[in-house]
Amino acid sequence: MNAPASPGLYGDYGGRYVPETLIPALDELSRGWDEASADATFRAELDELLERFAGRPTPLYEAARFAPAGKRILLKREDLLHTGAHKINNAVGQALLAVRLGKRRIVAETGAGQHGVAAATVCARFGLECVVHMGSEDMRRQHPNVERMGLLGAEVRPVEFGTRTLKEATSEAIRDWITNVDTTYYLIGSCVGPHPYPAIVRELQAVIGREARAQVLEQIGQLPDAVVACVGGGSNAIGLFAGFIADKDVRLVGVEAEGAASLSAGRSSVLHGSRSSVLADEDGQVLDAHSISAGLDYPGVGPEHAHLRDSGRAEYMTASDAEAVAAFHQLASLEGILPALEPAHALARALDLDAETILVGLSGRGDKDLAEVLSH
Ligand SMILES: *Cc1c(COP(=O)(O)O)cnc(C)c1O
Residues 6+ apart with CB under 8 A from 6: none
pLDDT (0 to 100) of residue 6: 62
Which atom of ligand 1 is the closest one to the Cα of 296?
4
**Statement: residue 304 has pLDDT above 60:** yes
Which atom of ligand 1 is the closest one to the Cα of 364?
13
Phi/psi for 49 (5° steps) reads -65, -40
Phi/psi for 112 (5° steps) reads -70, -20
**Statement: residue 3 has pLDDT above 90:** no
pLDDT (0 to 100) of residue 182: 93
Check if 315 is active-site: no
Q: Could you give the CA distance from residue 10 to residue 16 in angstroms, rounded to a whole number?
A: 12
Predicted confidence band of residue 7 (pLDDT cuts 50, 70, 90): confident
pLDDT (0 to 100) of residue 294: 84
pTM score: 0.97
Which atom of ligand 1 is the closest one to the Cα of 205?
9
Residues 6+ apart with CB under 8 A from 311: 11
Starting at the edge strand that comes first in sequence, how are the strands of the sheet with 251-257 ordered? 60-62, 72-77, 357-362, 226-230, 251-257, 314-319
Burial environment of residue 290 by CB neighbours within 10 A (0 to 12, 13 to 18, 19 or more):
middle
Q: Which residue among 269, 277, 293, 363 is the active-site one?
A: 363
- 3-class secondary structure, 261: coil
Predicted confidence band of residue 247 (pLDDT cuts 50, 70, 90): very high
Predicted confidence band of residue 239 (pLDDT cuts 50, 70, 90): very high
Question: Please, which residues bridge with residue 105 across strands?
Answer: 129, 184
**Statement: residue 22 has pLDDT above 60:** yes
- 3-class secondary structure, 368: helix
Residues 6+ apart with CB under 8 A from 40: none
pLDDT in tens, 108-124: 999 989 999 999 999 99
Q: Could you give the CA distance from residue 267 to residue 279 in angstroms, rounded to a whole number?
A: 6
CB atoms inside a 10 Å sphere around CB 2: 15
Q: Are 362 and 341 in contact (CB under 8 A)?
A: no
Q: Which CATH class is domain 55-85+206-375?
A: alpha beta
Task: Report CA(71)–ligand 1 centroid distance (Å).
Answer: 26
Q: Are 339 and 290 in contact (CB under 8 A)?
A: no
Q: Is 205 in the pocket of ligand 1 (CB under 6 A)?
A: no
Q: Is 254 in the pocket of ligand 1 (CB under 6 A)?
A: no
Q: How far is CA 7 from CA 3, 29, 33, 39, in A?
A: 12, 13, 14, 21
331: nearest Cα among 145, 59, 61: 61
- 11-47+87-197 and 55-85+206-375 in the same fold: yes
Domain ranges of the chain: 11-47+87-197, 55-85+206-375
For 205-256, the DSSP string reads HHHHHHHHHHHHHHHHSS--SEEEEE-SSSHHHHHHHHTTTT-TTSEEEEEE
Task: Report CA(54)–ligand 1 centroid distance (Å).
Answer: 16
Residue predicted with more confidence, 2 or 194: 194
Average pLDDT, integer, range 256-261: 96
Percent of the chain with pLDDT over 90: 92
Task: Report CA(20)–ligand 1 centroid distance (Å).
Answer: 30
pLDDT in tens, 306-362: 999 999 999 999 999 999 999 999 999 999 999 999 999 999 999 999 999 999 999
Q: Is 235 in the pocket of ligand 1 (CB under 6 A)?
A: yes
From 94, 230, 292, give the residue whose CB has the most ligand 1 atoms within 8 Å, as the site to mutate.
230
Which atom of ligand 1 is the closest one to the Cα of 343?
11
Residues 6+ apart with CB under 8 A from 50: 56, 89, 92, 207
pLDDT in tens, 143-190: 999 999 999 999 999 999 998 999 999 999 999 999 999 999 999 999
Check if 368 is active-site: no
CB atoms inside a 10 Å sphere around CB 267: 12
Check if 167 is active-site: no
Q: Which residue among 76, 87, 103, 368 is the active-site one?
A: 87
Average pLDDT, integer, range 288-294: 89
Q: Could you give the CA distance from residue 281 to residue 152 in angstroms, rounded to a whole number?
A: 40
Q: Which residues of 176-195 are buried (b: 16+ CB within 10 A; e: fewer)?
A: bbeeebeebbbbbbbbbbbb
Residue nearest to atom 1 of ligand 1 (CA): 295
CATH number of the domain located at residue range(s) 11-47+87-197 in this protein: 3.40.50.1100
